[in-house]
Amino acid sequence: TAIFTDLDGTLIDFNDYSSELARPYVQRLIELGYLVVFCSSKTFQEQRVLQEELGIEMPCIVENGSAIIAPPGFWDESITPVRIVNGWQRVELGKPAAEIRQRLARVESKFGESLLGFSRMMTEDVASITGLDIGSARRAQEREYSETLSAKLPQDVWESLDSAFEYEGLKCLPGGRFHTVIDSSADKGAAIRKFAELWKAQSSETLVSFGLGDSENDQELLENVDWPHLVKRPNGSWAGIDGRRIERVNGVGPRGWVKVAKQLLGETPAK
């Protein structure tokens, strides 16, 4: 069984990025044999540091579904073709960041303004607008398949840019605070389907999947798991995601996450 989970505002606190509440539950779920697979807009560097904080080593889905990155030996390389980077196995769905940034530059020149991508900002500025410490801000800038845009534009202006992104083979996804552009073939859902397909090819077992998310960019994540869960946002409401199957959890971010974990651990009865 795999638990595919978003990070910001879901497993970790939206405001201070703390992983403290979920930590003991993540560890116990893994001891029981669950895979806890992060699936977020964060980079591999960011996700790996969070794994280290939690004392775990797990496959993860980075940069909004752009790649599945697994610890050495997780996939049987005679069955699954992978690219090895620093010992970890990568299955890539997206395109290199250099290419994404080139295409983004063409969108920006049409638009006539910079969209203020993280990779071109000073690390100090990324830290101050995100609330991340300097080291974390640098890891957020080390994007390998995407670019996070910090421009503050009204929603209708973002929407008016959609066709220009599409023309360049890009997709621009609103996150909790910013927008992130990725190759249009990648998304959290596609990466989860790929993960399940590789799992099946390797083990002949059908992967059972839980999913947790908090915002619109988790729609594809939630659509592609067996047991989707939506936690509340900091304002106490659920994101407007359709899907009758979705269990709306009565808890903000990590508080909601822990409620689901307790059910899986049998500490509280499932509804």
Q: What is the C-alpha radius of gyration for the chain, rounded to an integer number of angstroms?
A: 18
Alpha helices by DSSP H, listed for the chain, are 23-31, 44-54, 97-111, 123-130, 134-141, 155-167, 188-203, 219-223, 253-264
How far, in Å, CA of 166 to CA of 244, rounded? 29
Shortest Cβ distance from residue 42 to Mg ion (Å)?
7
Pairing of strands 35-39, 147-149: unpaired
By CB under 5 A, residue 130 contacts Mg ion: no
By CB under 6 A, residue 219 contacts ligand 2M8: no
The first and second tokens of residue 130, run together, are 């995100």
By CB under 6 A, residue 176 contacts ligand 2M8: yes
> Residues 59, 65, 117, 175: which binds ligand 2M8 (CB under 6 A)?
175
> Residues 140, 170, 258, 260: which binds ligand 2M8 (CB under 6 A)?
140
Using the contact rule CB under 6 A, the part of the chain among 69-77, 152-160, 172-180, 196-204 near ligand 2M8 is 172-180
Shortest Cβ distance from residue 73 to ligand 2M8 (Å)?
27
The first and second tokens of residue 148, run together, are 């996070």
> Residues 6, 63, 223, 247: which binds Mg ion (CB under 5 A)?
6
SS3 252: strand
Using the contact rule CB under 6 A, the part of the chain among 23-31, 79-87, 175-183, 250-258 near ligand 2M8 is 175-183
Chosen from Mg ion, ligand 2M8, none, partner binding at 214 (C-beta under 5 to 8 Å by type) = Mg ion
Q: Of 268, 267, 228, 234, whose CA–CA distance to 248 is shortest?
A: 228
Using the contact rule CB under 6 A, the part of the chain among 174-182, 193-201, 222-230, 250-258 near ligand 2M8 is 174-182
> Residues 2, 11, 40, 225: which binds Mg ion (CB under 5 A)?
40
Told to judge if 6 belongs to the known catalytic residues of this protein, a careful annotator would answer yes
Shortest Cβ distance from residue 166 to ligand 2M8 (Å)?
20
SS3 51: helix
Q: Of 188, 120, 185, 192, whose CA–CA distance to 151 is shortest?
A: 120
Measure Cα distances from 252 to 51, 133, 215, 266 in Å.
22, 23, 12, 21
How far, in Å, CA of 234 to CA of 59, rounded? 28
* Binding string, residues 87-126; x marks residues near Mg ion by CB under 5 A: ----------------------------------------
Q: Which positions touch ligand 2M8 (CB under 6 A)?
A: 8, 41-43, 46, 118, 130, 132, 140, 148, 175-178, 180
Q: Which residues are catalytic?
A: 6
Q: Which positions touch Mg ion (CB under 5 A)?
A: 6, 8-9, 40-41, 176, 214-215
